[in-house]
Amino acid sequence: MAFYYKPLSLFFLFFATVFLIPLIQATKNGGITVDLIHRDSPLSPSYNSSHTHFERLRSAISRSFSRKSSLRLTSVSKSPESFQGTLTPIGGEYLMKVQIGTPPVEQLGIADTGSDLTWTQCKPCAQCYKQNIPLFDPRKTKTYRRVSCESDQCNAVGSASCDSSNACQYQVSYGDRSYSIGDLAVETFTFGSSSGQKVSFPKVVFGCGHENDGTFSATGSGIIGLGGGSLSIINQLDTSIGGKFSYCLTFLDSNVSSTISFGSDAIVAGRGVLSTPLVKKSPDTFYFLTLEGVSVGRQRLRHTTSTNTKASSSAEEGNIIIDSGTTLTFLPAELYQELESTLERAIAGKRATDPQGVFNLCYELPSDGQFKSPPIVAHFKGADLVLAEGSTFVEVEKGVVCLTLVPSEDLAIFGNLHQMNYKIGYDLVKQEVNFLPTDCSKAQ
């Protein structure tokens, strides 16, 4: 006999009353903070010591363009029948450990602010990509239950079907043609906090994937969805974590892991905090912000919106997304051209050509290794973020530094390279993102 999960049943209400209250208290008292491992860092299982710093950087840059294409496909997809998830090809940027089931089994998923549904590869597997850790086996856990076809959770997937026993079958596809198909189910998820304590959350909806293929890396077992949609981990755990999560990203060559926090650990407050509103737009997976312009030194370049033949005096609300899975920052093409021209006039260095042909504005690195450029500030609505000098111009090849903000004709993205050394908090209750300048390698 099949077991289904139907929300708001008497059993669920009883279960929630008895078991969720201690979890709420646990997160209120201490929150949850876990490691967020960049795929190219020395701490990553996929780290290849034979690759040079420049090779790893180039790979991250290449993934940025694939990622943008994938996110754009999702942003223009309107039909539930053509539901698209989002994922950077070749394994994502950050990995996160989570334990699933009772007894708990550790999985290593891609932490993705551009995806909602969390899923992992499961036995029995009709088609699975190679992964380094054992597949999750739902037959060996006491708390696994498939979701009924009539449930709200099944409807929220966007592309689902029913099997002969009325269980919900999900299907997600990604912009790089990767996909996952399987059973939509509920299970207990356990996170290990930085204090050494473990916090468990029952009845988390996730995908148990029996057919999965594409450009996934063997390092990860699936996706941990941190987007803004109803099925994301953030919204499912809302009662316990108060709609709050944050992360602190270390520089790519750091030997210290980045971190991600939930609940009270995720509160970003105090002197120096900058806040900007989240803008609700479609798709609700993405976190939209409003970029009003950028500054080079004291010269401010405004980002205006053109409508037909005349330009608006203000920027369009929600004109850029903030994304932890994209390395570069993609600016609207007109604003980028102004930025490039202004920097070109302000920098006295000797111009160089990017050997890979990716970046437009490059210079020779001086013999003393010190490249000087005016400070660049990103002006979000209500928040002026000074971009770290070490991330705006980066040495992409030996002796060549290039501007890491690039033009885009469609989707604008504030990438992770320019989020590093900020503690960035998402508050989905207040609908805002908070930034606090922090040395993330020492903030743990």
DSSP-based three-state secondary structure for 386:
strand
List alpha helices for 8-124, DSSP H: 10-15, 21-30, 53-76
Distance CA 174, CA 169 (A): 17
Q: Cβ distance 56 to 44 under 8 Å? A: no
List 40, 112, 116, 176, catalytic entry: 112
**Nearest residue to 4 (alpha-carbon basis) of 110, 112, 114, 162:** 162
Token pair for residue 279?
Answer: 């803008």
Distance CA 298, CA 427 (A): 31
Does the annotation mark 323 as catalytic? yes
Q: In degrees, to the nearest 5, what angle opens at C-alpha 259 toward C-alphas 381 and 332? A: 35
List 40, 176, 183, 323, catalytic entry: 323
Provide CB contacts within 8 A for 151, sequence distance 6+.
4, 5, 6, 7, 168
Distance CA 418, CA 320 (A): 14
Does the annotation mark 112 as catalytic? yes
Strand ranges in 62-153 using DSSP code E only, listed in sequence order: 94-100, 105-112, 119-121, 145-147
Q: Indicate the pairing of strand 222-225 with strand 105-112.
A: parallel
**Nearest residue to 138 (alpha-carbon basis) of 125, 149, 123:** 123
Distance CA 249, CA 256 (A): 10
Active site (catalytic) residues: 112, 323
